[in-house]
Structure 1
Amino acid sequence: MGGGNHSTVTEFILTGLTEKPELQLLLFLFFLGTYVVTVVGNLGMITLIGLSSQLHTPMYYFLNSLSLIDLCYSTVIIPKMLVNFVTEKNTISYPECMTQLYFFIFFIISEGHMLAVMAYDRYVAICKPLLCNVIMSYQACSWLVVEVCVMGLIGATAHTGCMLRVVFCKVKIINHYFCDVFPLLELSCTSTYINEVVVLCLSLFNILAPTLTILGSYVSIIASILQIHSTEGRSKAFRTCSSHITAVTIFCGSAAFMYLQPSNVSSMDQGKVSSLFYTIIVPMLNPLIYSLRNKDVKVALNKIIEKRLFCISKY
């Protein structure tokens, strides 16, 4: 992702969330705290799943991958964003901008498809429990994660490849807190029709395909749950899915609002607010949602704490 490609712009200026000086320190502290919670939460989830043998199941294998994705793509966005709050002019070079765009798209697409894979896993566990170990074998789970990464790779390569063809020769101020597709296209002094078609087509696929998979899975899950006669059985099945439904709603809703509309219709100020949800809030909330609302995670965490306390007390 070299920096030439007919562009006369060598660097961009990110405007950030606000230009009001009195809000800069407050926002810096808020997003710094958010990032710390995100890193600690996702690293904690990855570590807990790795250490707890009772969590070595397909559900937590996918949750482990989701936590890694959340950790990576929040790291692609937030550190550079924090710099904007403490510097007078937040610049980003052309190669850095294209690199940030590439990895952001890779991880955001991977996140959507990983949520769909997790919904499919819940469908198999609830609707086909006798075949669960066969359908969701370790090899099958590994292939699903590879496919998720391939989808992210294809999307990131297509979007960034098209962006590298765009000529930037006007203003170089990006009205956003990171290098995203639509804010960059606004700076083009050539036709962006092909780029917008690619964005719309890939966004339709990468948002609608996971959404339809999730909806199809949960329609089948709900139908199966309604056939369970015991109240306790129904409650347990709903609890298993509630965390995932919450995460999906926040992520897909905010992403769809940003990308499933023409760039001339979407307001960049509205886009910034929408982007905050899926770039910053979702990676922070996911480990909290899956830990606070998941009995297995709580039990595993308590066992590890008790084990550590026991080891300390021996010495």
Structure 2
Amino acid sequence: MNFATLDLNLLRVLDALFREGSTVRAGARLGISQSAVSNALNRLRHALNDDLLIRHGNRLVPTAYAETIRHDLAEQLDGLAQLLQAPATFDPATAEGNFKIAASDFFAEMLMPALADLLHGRAPGIRAQLVDLVPQNYIESLERSSADLVLIPDAPLPKFVSRQDLFRSPFAAIARQGNPHIEGLKQGDVFPLDLFCRLPHVLFSPEGNTKAMGDAALAKVGRTRTVAITVPVFSGVCRAVSESDLIALIPRQLVERLGDHYRLSWFEPPMPIDPPLIIGAWHRRDERTPQHRWLRSAVFSILAKLDPDLALAQRDGMKMS
């Protein structure tokens, strides 16, 4: 391939095809016709001597070679766009736009009310949207710009994704106030292991899984539990527990916020469970975008209050570096 004669606009088309998996959607993304996209793809196939994308059902999937250049291409194009972009000023008071956060409904309680108040007072033209987090697709949602920020348990991330540690989320066992099985237990006590394993559980699982971190922790002490129902949202877990004799494990920060509303009591789990680290992740193309930087800083400052020790350790680490 002679790079000197390559039309660089073809690379924008290839990037759009990688992101959309369709000549129609790629054309819509770029504002050109489907036939123009197909023509560009054919030219690239000839120039790079590879099929690049192969039809699989109703979607185009990358070849092995194309997969090796996919993320680097997106990163290089985004970097070039930032390089050529005129310096931008950002004034929250006059800014307008949307900011989509993909996360569980935990954040509907623990983030969005405070964020709404902050935006109302400082950036009234910006709309924050909490959208459902699809566990298997959050990386794709960042690639396709269907989310600006994802809030997830710590996980390996591709190099085109930036991240920040936010807080640790310890678990609590919950039961409704008045549940006859917890008579004699005081809030904050350790839940008896035999009782914990005997009572049926409500499990939070967007995918409908019947096992989670609690089961892995129980297995380490040689025990199991019975999951009676699964629900895809934490509010559903709280509701189910509040209206039955079932119990559940949920983030302690959440039950401390909602326990009185749902008339729930919370207890320490009977087995050790490492509290998961929750992180914020975003596409590196937005690393230096002024509006994105301001908004994610606003989100992170709110969530830092959930784990003051981690926030303090991060500040100390920044001072030392």
- TM-score, length basis structure 2: 0.23
Greater relative contact order (CA < 8 Å, ≥ 6 in sequence): 1
Higher strand fraction: Structure 1 or Structure 2?
2
- The higher radius of gyration belongs to 2
Higher helix fraction: Structure 1 or Structure 2?
1
